A and B are shown apart, each in its own frame.
Chain A
Amino acid sequence: MICQDAFTVALLDPSQPTPAGLIDPQGQTAPKRFAVYRNNVAASLTEALRTGFPVIRKLVGDRFFDALAGVYLRAHPPKTPLMMHYGQELPAFLQGFPPAQNLPYLADVARLELAMRESYHAKDAAPIEPSVLAAIPPETLMQSRIALAPSAILLRSRWPIYGIWAANMLDAPTPQMHGEAVLIMRPEYDPTPHLLPAGMATFLIALETQPLGAALDTATAAVADFDLGAALGILLAGGAITSLTLPKAPAP
């Protein structure tokens, strides 16, 4: 009897013999027939990684990518049947993958590609109209809390991850090597990465726990000429602000 344990081990390790008891019409062990399943698993998971990480593939080339996918898929097969989430461990894997050590930015670029997919499948949330913000007196606005859409995802890197993404996906010029912060926003259904101005990442992180005015103070402390109007403009244009909670009315 062949248990699924033995089948799985042989499936993922081509150096293992075909399990006995898997036979062809003549009753003989059938390595090439078993190899169909081996190939289906490796090819389908490799294809899922190719689709999910087009920039990584361009950066390392097809042959290198397929080789690293072959190692990755055996170390990290999907955890669930939701292939839309496959590849979560790729950034950490790339960080520790010796043949990729001369491209130290790969892991962060993989994080950006994962975040693009996460944004694509994130829960829908209707953005607020810019006029809603404009109608609130500035003092009240500064005490309000702003919530961003589930599809809005912030990434910070010591590498130019937006520049690398744009050079490969939009044929933009090769970027200078400096750190970048990126906000992925999904105005309707297509996630788009935006390169953020200085201080905006600090502002967005502060906004998670602080009202607008306090977040502005935090950002200005980090970057003296931080431009709140420009920051709000980026968020509104990307449809990323989904709710505004006004301060509680002061007790009489």
Chain B
Amino acid sequence: MFDQSPPHGLPHCAGVGYKPQHFTQIMENAGSVGWLEVHAENYMGAGGRPLAQLAALAETFPLSVHGVGLSIGGEGPLDPDHLARLKALCDRVKPASFSEHLAWSTHDIGFLNDLLPLPYTQTTLTRVCAHIDQVQDLLGRQMLLENPSNYLAFAESQMSEVAFLTEITNRTGCGLLLDVNNVFVSAVNQQTDPLSYLDAFPLDKVGEIHLGGHDEDTDDHGAPLLIDSHGAEVADPVWALLDHVLQRAGPRPVLIEWDTDVPDWTVLEAQAARAHTALATVQA
């Protein structure tokens, strides 16, 4: 068990999800951006530009390696080849943080390239904890686990998501990555109160905060259905929830995620500047 509370690693300032098209601007003038996050799987090739850029970034910025393919919630065992690639990447880049998702994405037939949901039961709790133990033992470090965006619920769930995540941190010593946009998306979709979720959340275990954009749709009955798209500016209610979290938790590393329809650097940097401002009000 890895007990490193409160979680530490990344600086308590604004970061952005790295996109290769922004490399030159980031290296010349990163503005309000104090650290970068990369998706682990994009840097598991043998060589070429991705690895060269990552090496250059790692010399200049604290890095967060964020996995999107480990399938920690999968029913089957973790893929040993993927674990080995992850260890090699972390040994090479020495990131300030490693995080993954409370989700599954791999099944017998292959990798499904989406973060799929889990029921919150004793069975899944035991399995997820065993997988996190395995990852932390292999990497020799604490990892952060991210809360999902939910579009539906499992009738078989026996506990709340917050209770589930809290129990995971207690059993494994992992930290949490609090995605505030996911909290908002899930609350709207499940017709619950995001503030109640955040007030119950173990904020002392939060080593990183994510912010991203979402799309709006409706469900079968015309009720609002938000889709976590990472393809737009962070919505105002999500910024308000960020303020709420920062006031209670104090400053934390805050990341802007923008993965589809990636905008010009100036748009992304402006979002980071807004996060920087939100952090400054609690840092004083």
| Chain A interface residues toward B at CB < 8 A | 1-5, 7-8, 11-12, 20-27, 30-34, 36-37, 40-41, 44-45, 48, 76-84, 120-124, 150-151, 186, 189-190
Contact = CB atoms under 8 A, between A and B. Distances in A.
Contacts of B111: 77-81
Contacts of A189: 48-49, 52
10 contacts: A24-B152, A31-B220, A33-B151, A36-B217, A82-B44, A82-B45, A84-B41, A84-B44, A124-B51, A150-B46
B47 A27 contact: no
Contacts, number: 148
Contact of B114 (A5, A44, A124, A150): A44
B30 interface: no
B216 interface: no
Contacts of B113: 40-41, 44-45, 48, 77-78, 81, 83
Given A77-B111, A80-B111, A34 B152 contact: yes
Contact of B41 (A12, A82, A190): A82
A84 B81 contact: no
Nearest to A85: B45
Interface string B124-167: 00000000000000000000000000011111100000000000
A36 B225 contact: yes
Contact of B49 (A27, A76, A120, A150): A120
Nearest to B42: A84
Given A11-B116, A82-B69, 18 more contacts: A4-B74, A21-B155, A22-B152, A24-B219, A26-B221, A27-B155, A30-B151, A30-B152, A36-B217, A37-B151, A44-B113, A79-B111, A81-B105, A81-B106, A121-B48, A122-B47, A122-B48, A151-B48
